[in-house]
């Protein structure tokens, strides 16, 4: 299905950074995406440099998160006005729970700070709010565009080409992702089949990554994760057998999920880690949703356990990226967390 059915909410108030609103809007509309400007009140909002006047399509109290496929928050002084509005914060918090893309540039992350959404996230912003991001629990990096799961961030107007492309790519991924989503009408066995396929793919990715790299620490790390995912795969397969009367789950191959097909000869350790972080975030969201919908208590408990494990994997993998900038490594992060029997990995 094409981008023509996608709709994006751009949160905007007066004194926005002109190009950070106009360029993403024009870029996405050129690709068929509908961009609605959501403001605090009807009328027009004006850019801080006077180069743009944009009509507000709908006010924040007229919209719901379910109507949109992504949210964009341009910078300038607009975020300062948005962040003190409780309806804006509630909208952003509820949209965040969908797992769909949230993009913020320049001062845009100020809204996410006030919404309490940056803890444990890797992101960038205008350098002037770098310390605010860190105090909110985010890991600030100086890069043109940073993607951490559903979160896409950039620093300044000069980063807009990469920022726009990252948003477009995230919207394109939604078609594939929706094939893996579950809802109230999803058959429990189908949800389990998706879960088994996810874990099998994750196991294959980590196993192939372990064989790809010569560094012993890297091999140990990916072997450890492969072993954990194998345990998840086995547990879910057994639950599927019990609920299906002994049938084996037919695995789904999904090109945008973790799998050994993503381990190419030119894959770097950093790229492997970034792929894994994004996949662990998606898996966490999937299991939280599965737990909410599960009617069987044992299945609910298993999904909640898996959600917590995927979140922990994301935390540990994030330490790898932080270590490259002088932070703690995966090995140090897990030193006191190593499960019984896994001590030999380090």
Task: Give catalytic residues, as residue numbers.
Answer: 106-107
Closest CA to 108 of 162, 72, 157, 132: 72
Can you tell me the distance from the alpha carbon of 238 to that of 241, in angstroms, rounded to the nearest whole number?
Answer: 5
d(CA 168, CA 228): 33
Q: How many helices (H) and strands (E) does the chain have?
A: 11, 11
What stretch of H or E contains 53? strand 53-55
Question: Could you tell me the two tokens for 165?
Answer: 């492309």
Yes or no: say if 277 and 317 are a contact pair by the CB < 8 Å rule: yes
Are 137 and 116 spatial neighbours (Cβ–Cβ below 8 Å)? no
Say if residues 319 and 329 touch (Cβ distance below 8 Å). Answer: yes
Distances (CA, A) of 140 to 4, 60, 110, 279, 322: 34, 29, 13, 21, 10
């Amino acid at each position: 299905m094409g981008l023509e059915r996608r709709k994006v909410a751009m949160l905007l108030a007066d004194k926005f950074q002109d190009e950070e609103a106009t360029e993403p809007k024009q870029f996405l509309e050129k690709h068929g995406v509908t961009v609605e400007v959501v403001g605090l009140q009807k009328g027009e909002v004006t850019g801080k440099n006077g180069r743009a006047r944009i009509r507000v399509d709908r006010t924040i109290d007229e919209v719901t998160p379910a109507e949109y496929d992504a949210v964009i928050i341009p910078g300038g002084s607009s975020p300062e006005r948005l962040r003190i509005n409780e309806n804006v914060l509630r909208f952003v918090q509820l949209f965040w729970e969908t797992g769909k893309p949230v993009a913020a540039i320049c001062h845009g992350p100020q809204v996410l700070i006030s919404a309490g959404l940056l803890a444990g996230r890797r992101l960038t912003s205008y350098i002037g709010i770098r310390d605010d991001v860190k105090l909110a629990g985010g890991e600030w990096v100086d890069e043109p565009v940073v993607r951490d799961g559903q979160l896409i961030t950039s620093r300044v107007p000069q980063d807009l080409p990469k920022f726009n492309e990252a948003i477009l790519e995230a919207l394109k991924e939604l078609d594939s992702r929706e094939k893996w989503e579950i809802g109230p009408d999803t058959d429990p066995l189908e949800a389990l089949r998706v879960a088994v396929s996810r874990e099998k793919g994750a196991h294959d990715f980590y196993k192939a990554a372990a064989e790809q790299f010569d560094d012993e620490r890297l091999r140990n790390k990916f072997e450890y994760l492969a072993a954990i995912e194998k345990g998840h795969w086995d547990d879910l397969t057994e639950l599927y057998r019990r609920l299906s009367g002994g049938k084996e789950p037919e695995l789904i191959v999904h090109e945008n999920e973790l799998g050994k097909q993503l381990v190419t000869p030119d894959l770097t350790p950093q790229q492997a880690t970034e792929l894994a972080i994004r996949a662990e975030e998606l898996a966490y969201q999937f299991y939280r949703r599965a737990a909410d919908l599960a009617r069987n208590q044992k299945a609910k408990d298993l999904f909640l356990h898996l959600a917590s494990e995927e979140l922990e994997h994301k935390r540990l993998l994030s330490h790898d990226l932080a270590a490259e900038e002088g932070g703690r490594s995966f090995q140090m992060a897990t030193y006191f967390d190593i499960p019984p029997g896994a001590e030999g990995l380090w």
